[in-house]
Copies of this chain bind each other. A is one copy, B any other.
Amino acid sequence: MVRKILLQESDIPTHWYNVQADMPNPMLPPLHPGTKQPIGPEDLAPLFPMELIKQEVSQERWIEIPEEVRDVYKLWRPTPLFRAWNLEKMLDTPAKIYYKYEGVSPAGSHKPNTAVAQVYYNKAEGVKRLTTETGAGQWGSALSFACNQFGLDLEVFMVKISYHQKPYRKVMMNTWGATVIASPSDQTNAGRQILAESPDSPGSLGIAISEAVERAATNDDTKYSLGSVLNHVLTHQTVLGLEAVKQMEMAGDFPDIVVAPFGGGSNFAGISFPFLRFNLTEGKKVRCIAAEPASCPKLTKGEFRYDFGDTVGMTPLIPMYTLGHQFVPAPIHAGGLRYHGAGAIVSQLLKDQLIEAQALQQLECFEAGIKFAQAEGVIAAPEATHGIAVVIREALKAKEEGVPKTILFNLCGHGYFDMSAYADYFDGKLEDHHLSDEELHQYLNILDTPSVA
């Protein structure tokens, strides 16, 4: 019995795959939040280095991974691809289940794949310091690790309630040399304004974004970095899916179904775009399924229109499936999936029916996560359990139908920093969240952003 397909360092892809080159319909352009006119590179220059701005709109199919980035990737890449024999047996399914395991990175998830690339390009253009925001801490950890590798300073604005409730992620960022600031803080105008109005504000991702963006916009040697949603971020993540393509080939197999959890799109893009390419260019029919939380169902119940990326409305307007930028999801434990909108690429693909989405309640996800831990050993992050739950659904359907499907999913991170969520599950403290139509449309109804009709 062979459980895993292992590549050597020389197999790390030399190029990222940019799905923009193969999309049948181009995306609508992002709009300036003030003028509502398409933005140009100069509008993004205060926040991002020029190379990343170019990648954002690039139509090149393959974008070369710099040697320096590949060298840092080697600290954990290539990652293993596992055949989940034990899970198949537990489910008594004819389906073959494979998973790509990204939890072996130092930060514990797929996030460093883009963090390392972004830091590299910033450094190459003379940037000395980055800022970012983080909620539960996955992205902040990944960027801390990456900045540390290249010797850049980093300020992480961490949502205040998480800062106090999840001190271990903060310590992890400190270990890699980052400064972590509880947001709202007194260090930015945005933060001071919030604190003046509500001194006890627990903070939010939207506020933290505002603080990080302000810091970058007002300091010449400082840029801003984002961990999902944007096109270049999604492109960087394809390194993991391209490895998986090679590994599936070595296994003598090809997936009928590819699954990943969905927050802003980077995880999903990473595993699915390199397989979607075979659909777009060679007529294959791989089903690519995004697994989103039922408490934040932008893909299955959102509207496709222009919307802001942040709560306050400072970012460019992006054509996206959204629940409205002021939508506040229930406090489920999969913090990385609690985002109101989907990135532009994924949104266009969904609109064109080239990908699918399923929404899941968290109890089903934790049950799936525990099944997986008992079968395969790995305790998955709550985000990752959404993917596992869809895999189990599809594997049981294959059993019902008697069809031996091949299913591949991205196990995007381990759950070692999320054991309190598992504890809450065992203690019966977790609930499902059923959104009423009213709750669902509350922030869509008040949107005054441009439609795309």
Q: Which A residues contact B (CB, under 8 angstroms)? A: 1-4, 6, 8-9, 71, 74-76, 104-106, 108, 145, 148-149, 167-168, 171-172, 174-177, 370, 373-374, 376-379, 414, 416-417, 419-420, 422-423, 426
Contact = CB atoms under 8 A, between A and B. Distances in A.
B374 A177 contact: yes
A175 B379 contact: yes
Contacts of A167: 419-420, 423
B6 A2 contact: no
A427 to B, nearest CB: 10
Contacts of A2: 9, 74
A422 B175 contact: yes
Contacts of A9: 2-4, 6
A418 to B, nearest CB: 9
Contacts of A419: 167-168, 171-172
A105 B376 CA distance: 11
Nearest to A112: B377
Q: Which 7 A-B pairs have the closest CB atoms?
A: A106-B377, A168-B419, A416-B416, A3-B74, A171-B423, A171-B419, A75-B377
Contacts of A71: 1, 3
Nearest to A174: B426
A274 B168 CA distance: 37
How many identical subunits does the complex contain? 2
A172 B174 CA distance: 25
Nearest to A2: B9
Contacts of A149: 377
A175 B370 contact: yes
Contacts of A168: 416, 419-420, 423
A306 to B, nearest CB: 39
Contacts of A174: 422, 426
A1 B74 contact: yes
A391 B432 CA distance: 50
16 contacts: A3-B71, A3-B74, A4-B9, A76-B377, A104-B104, A106-B379, A167-B419, A168-B420, A171-B422, A172-B419, A174-B422, A174-B426, A175-B374, A175-B379, A175-B422, A414-B416
Contact of A175 (B6, B177, B373): B373
Nearest to A377: B106
Contacts of A108: 416
Contacts of A3: 9, 71, 74-75
A374 B176 contact: yes
A5 to B, nearest CB: 9
A9 B171 CA distance: 35
Contacts of A176: 373-374
B8 A6 contact: yes
Contact of A374 (B148, B377, B378): B148
Nearest to A141: B379
Given A374-B176, A379-B172, A4 B74 contact: yes
A426 B171 contact: yes
Nearest to A8: B6
A53 to B, nearest CB: 28
